[in-house]
Amino acid sequence: MKVAVIQPLLPHYSIAFFNRVVELHPEVELVVLADIETSESLNQYRPQDCRFIVRHLPSLKRKGLIFRPGLLHRLRQEKADIVVYNANPREISQLWAMVVSRLKGQRFTAWGMFHRIGGPRLVSNVYYRLVGLLASKCLTYTRTGASNLVSLGVPKQRIGVVGTAIDERIPFAERAARTPEELAEFRRAHDLDNRHVVLQVVRLSRLKRPELLVQAAEILLRQRQDLLFVLIGNGEMRQELEDMVAARGIQHAFRFLGAIYDEAVLSRWYMSAAVFVVPTCIGLSAHHAMSYGVPVVTDDSLDSQASEFDIIADGLNALTYREGDVQSLADAITSLTTDAALRATLAINALRTIELRHNVLNKALNFFNSNTP
C-alpha cells in the first residue's frame, strides 16, 4: 500500500512521527510531499534522518495564502492508494485538489487542527465544513477539533483524533543519562541552590504573551527572593522583555539564555526546574516539559491555545490560570513552588501523560489505523 501525505514542511517532530509510522508498518510505502527547500526555521529536513520517501513540493505565498504549483501533477505521478491532505484554510491548491479528487470519486483523508486559534472563525469554519463534506475521513489533532467538526455537521464516524506528540524517546534517554551528582553540580555551577527555577523554553513571540510572565514575576519578587526565571529562546520580543525586566529592577532574578538546541544542555535545565510556564498558546513545549516530569502552567483559554493544549489536565499534570490574569498566573507559580507534595504529584502525572498516552507511538498508531479500512 502506498500513502502520500502532503506537508507544508518537515520539522524534526514530523520526521520522528513519519519514521515511527514506517517502523510500525514497513510494508507501507510512505511518501511525504513537502517544501523541503523553504528557508523557514521549522524546516529541519535532512535526507539521512528520514526512513520514508520525501518529494519536494514547492510553495508560493501570496497575501497570506499558500499555493502549491504542480500538486495535481505530482499526485498523478505518485498513484497513491491513500492521499492525506493538509487541512489548512490558507492552502488554496490543496482545497482545489480535494475538490478534484471528490469529483473523480477518489477517497482521501484531510488532516489538520480543524479549529482556529483566536480571531474570527467564520471563514475557517466554512472551510472546515467544506473539507469535512469532501473528505472520506477527517483526522484532527485534538478532541477540540473533533468537537468543532461535529458542530459543523461532519458525521462522527468520519472523524478520528490522532493526538499530538514529540519523539519522547530523546528526552527520556537524556533524563535517564543524568545522575544526581551531575545535576547537583549543575545547580551549584549555575547558582541554583536554594532557588526555585521557573523555566520557559519557547520562541519569544507576541503569540505566546511572555510579558505576562515578567509581570507575574514582579508580583512574586515583592514577597520572596527564592525564584529564578530562566527564559530559553529568541524572538522578536527578547529585547523588549529584557527592557521590561530592567525597568522593574528585577534583572537579578532573570536569565535570558537565547536559543538552545542541544538536548543534553536542555535536559539539565528541565531537570532543575520546579515549574514550566508558557502563558498561552503553549504548543509542543508542553510535551517536552512533561517528558522530563516538569509540571506545566498555562492559561485556560481554548480560544488562544494551540492543539497541544489537549495534553493539559488542570490539577492533574498542570495548573491553568485565568486568561490574561497576571495575579492568577502568579498564584499558580506560587502553588507549585511552595507545595512540594502538589509539585511531586503533578510531576509524576506529567511523565505518565507522555508514557501512556501522548507519545509518538500512539500518534503513529492512530494515524495508520484511521487511514486503513
Least confident window among 111-115, 322-326, 342-346: 111-115
pLDDT band at 176 (very low <50, low <70, confident <90, very high): very high
Q: Which domains does the chain have, with CATH numbers?
A: 2-165+359-371 (3.40.50.2000), 169-356 (3.40.50.2000)
28-32 long-range contacts, CB within 8 A, separation 24+: 28/1, 28/2, 28/3, 28/368, 29/1, 29/2, 29/3, 29/53, 30/3, 30/5, 31/2, 31/3, 31/4, 31/5, 31/55, 31/78, 31/80, 32/4, 32/5, 32/6, 32/7
Cα dihedral 282, 287, 292, 295 sign: positive
Least confident window among 106-115, 212-221, 231-240, 249-258: 106-115
pLDDT band at 370 (very low <50, low <70, confident <90, very high): confident
Between CA 369 and CA 66 the distance in angstroms is: 29
Only one residue has cell 508498518, namely 25
pLDDT at site 42? 77
Q: What is the amino acid identity at position 338?
A: T
pLDDT at 118 > cutoff 70? no
Q: pLDDT by residue (tens digit) across 294-332?
A: 999 999 987 788 888 889 999 999 999 999 999 999 999
pLDDT at site 18? 95
pLDDT at site 255? 98
pLDDT at site 102? 93
pLDDT at site 117? 64
Q: Quick one: average pLDDT of 167-176?
A: 95
pLDDT at 228 > cutoff 60? yes
pLDDT at site 115? 83
- Of the candidates 42, 24, 142, which has an alpha carbon nearest to the alpha carbon of residue 7? 42
Q: Quick one: average pLDDT of 147-164?
A: 93
* 3 state SS for 299-319: ECCCCCCCHHHHHCCECCCEE
Q: Quick one: average pLDDT of 195-224?
A: 96
Can you give the pTM of this predicted structure? 0.89
pLDDT at 198 > cutoff 80? yes
